[in-house]
Amino acid sequence: MAETWQLNAREIAPGDGKSMLGILNGAGSGKVIRVYRMWMLNNFTGVAYTGALLNLEIRAITGLTVGSGAAVTPVKHDTANAALDANVVMFTGGTVSGESATLIRLLGWSQNEPVVADTSLYTAQVLIPLGVIWDTGYGSTVLQPLTLREGEGVHIKCTTNATVGTMDIRMEFTQSSS
Amino acid sequence: MANTWFATFPDVAIGTANKSHADLWNPSGSGRVIRVYKIYALNNYRATAITGGMNLYHIARITALTVAGTVVTPVRADTSLENWAATSCTAHYASTVTEGSVFRRFIRSADDVGVRMGTQFDYWGSIHEMAKVWDTGCNDDAVLQPIVIREDSGIHIKYLSGADSTSTLTVVMEFTTDTT
């Protein structure tokens, strides 16, 4: 098995053009990062607010710095795994460069606090199996996952002008030398 | 195949914030490695109707089992293989633990599951596939690691906060034990 990591970014507020979560395999890492699965989850527990419909995009990038954002530390699936290479970085609200004009995936999201005894889409978005936004390559011997070679990254960007509420975004990825 | 186990932590009262709802512990000297492939967090509450609420949990490593709670004995998939006691590993709920890294968070509705509630997502929490909160490393996946628990460590499900403490949560873990 490849050394596997769980990246769990919590309570990310949306914003127009904001890089909600990005991962970059920086030059010099000597590693290949493969992203197998991603989720968006409505794990909001704050006070009720007036919701909004959001659009988000998954796009390739070639540069990522923390900017005014924050670093997110992934967790090893096995404590015996080697450390993640220092050139592999992950930020919420980071500053992106080299964003690809080609869209990898377009996402819709109902941003509202989840409530009990409810039938709304935003409450369904707490269920992990329904929160999957990427799983190509997972459990497959045919399809490739998102493969990030040195100098390559990917991020999830909000493209709607709304700032209410928060969401959790999660990625599962591996690090290997080839 | 590796020795496969099913641990069910049934109808554990939600209780107060930061309660450990299910733990799996691999003690020092066991000679075993635990690999957790699936975890379900089920809303099987079927007692008196309650107001309910949305509760937040997370899955985290634990680095110490300080006070063991109520013992749960996992069931083996093959009775010809070693029994649970032979592994020296343990499972409980309502333990006192020292927590390590957090793998992921999830929300579960703690409302009662009533008849004809099919359109409400409280009910969906009683459906196994919808209640699956961990499956990395299974699905015949030869690449991704499950949660690997080496000696002197463990994992648990912790109730972080929420709007209802009167209901229950049932956690199910599917895992293997091996010597390497």
Give residue B58's pLDDT: 98
Which chain B residue lies closest to A124 (C-alpha atoms)?
B121
Spell out which residues of chain A touch residue B125, defining contact as CB-CB under 8 Å: 127
Tally of helices (H runs) and strands (E runs) in chain B: 2, 12
Query: Residue B160: pLDDT band by 50, 70, 90 thresholds?
Result: very high
Residue A88 has which token pair? 């592999």
Best residue in B123, B127, B143 for a mutation probing chain A (most A CBs within 10 Å) = B143
For A135, counting Cβ atoms within 10 Å of its Cβ (0-12 exposed, 13-18 middle, 19+ buried), the class is middle
Enumerate residues 6+ apart whose C-beta is below 8 A from B57. Answer: B21, B41, B105, B106, B107, B108, B157, B158, B159, B160, B169
Report the C-alpha gap between A22 and A9 in whole angstroms: 10
Number of structural domains chain A divides into? 1
Report the C-alpha gap between A62 and A8 in whole angstroms: 22
Which chain A residue lies closest to B153 (C-alpha atoms)?
A79
pLDDT at B117 over 70: no
With CA atoms as reference, report the closest residue to B103 among A9, A8, A11, A10. Answer: A8
Query: Residue B18: pLDDT band by 50, 70, 90 thresholds?
Result: very high
Inter-chain residue contact A43 with B52, CB threshold 8 Å: no
Give residue B116's pLDDT: 60
Enumerate residues 6+ apart whose C-beta is below 8 A from A10. Answer: A43, A166, A168, B105
Structural domain boundaries enclosing A146:
3-176
Residue type, A9: A
Residue type, A142: V
Report the b/e string of B42-77 with b at 16+ CB within 10 A. bbebeeeeeebbbbbbbbbbbeebeeebeebebebe
- Reported residue count of chain B is 180
**A102 touches A60 (CB < 8 A):** yes
Spell out which chain A residues touch chain B, with contact meaning CB-CB distance below 8 angstroms: 1-4, 6, 8, 10, 34, 36-37, 41-43, 45, 75-81, 114-119, 123-124, 126-130, 138-139, 141, 168, 170, 172, 174
- Which ipTM score applies to this complex? 0.84
For A128, the closest of B106, B143, B146 (CB atoms) is B106
Report the C-alpha gap between A61 and B32 in whole angstroms: 42
Summarised one tens digit per residue, pLDDT across range A33-56 is: 999 999 999 999 889 999 999 999
Give residue B124's pLDDT: 81
Summarised one tens digit per residue, pLDDT across range B40-77 is: 999 888 778 888 889 999 999 999 999 999 999 999 99
Which chain A residue lies closest to B142 (C-alpha atoms)?
A1
Query: Residue B106: pLDDT band by 50, 70, 90 thresholds?
Result: very high
Give residue B6's pLDDT: 96
